[in-house]
Amino acid sequence: MPIVTLTPKGQMTIPKEVRDALNLKPSEKVIIVVEGSHAIIKPLRGNILDLGGSVKIPDKERPINFHKIREEVKKKVAKRAATGR
């Protein structure tokens, strides 16, 4: 089990063993999901729609429907293009 040390700025280096296991390359992004007292590192690949459900939203808030938002944006862009506004 790899152990890392945080720098004074709160930074850390992901150990080679972990980078290899996740197939991470230089300059790739990762998302860190906090679940209770644990943090999970996941490679950030694909597009925003792939993230649906990967981030826990408080029970008081309803889930974000990325597909619906994307369709609404497409409609508004199409309307602007058609009307010239």
- The single residue listed with the structure tokens 């619906």 is 68
Same domain, 17 and 39: yes
Q: What whole-number distance in Å separates Cα of residue 66 and Cα of residue 71? A: 9
Q: What is the pLDDT of residue 35?
A: 87
Q: What is the pLDDT of residue 66?
A: 82
Domain membership flag for residue 50: no
Q: What is the pLDDT of residue 33?
A: 87
Q: Give this prediction's pTM.
A: 0.51
Same domain, 12 and 35: yes
Kindly report the CATH number assigned to the domain that includes residue 23. Answer: 2.10.260.10
Better-scored residue on pLDDT, 23 or 76? 23
Same domain, 65 and 40: no
Q: What whole-number distance in Å separates Cα of residue 13 and Cα of residue 73? A: 38
Same domain, 35 and 71: no
Q: In the chain, how many domains are there?
A: 2
How wide is the angle at C-alpha 15 spanned by C-alphas 10 and 16, nearest 5°?
150
pLDDT band at 85 (very low <50, low <70, confident <90, very high): low
Per-residue pLDDT tens digits for 24-47: 999 888 888 888 899 888 888 766
Residue type at position 38: H
Same domain, 36 and 12: yes
For 28, the domain range is 1-45
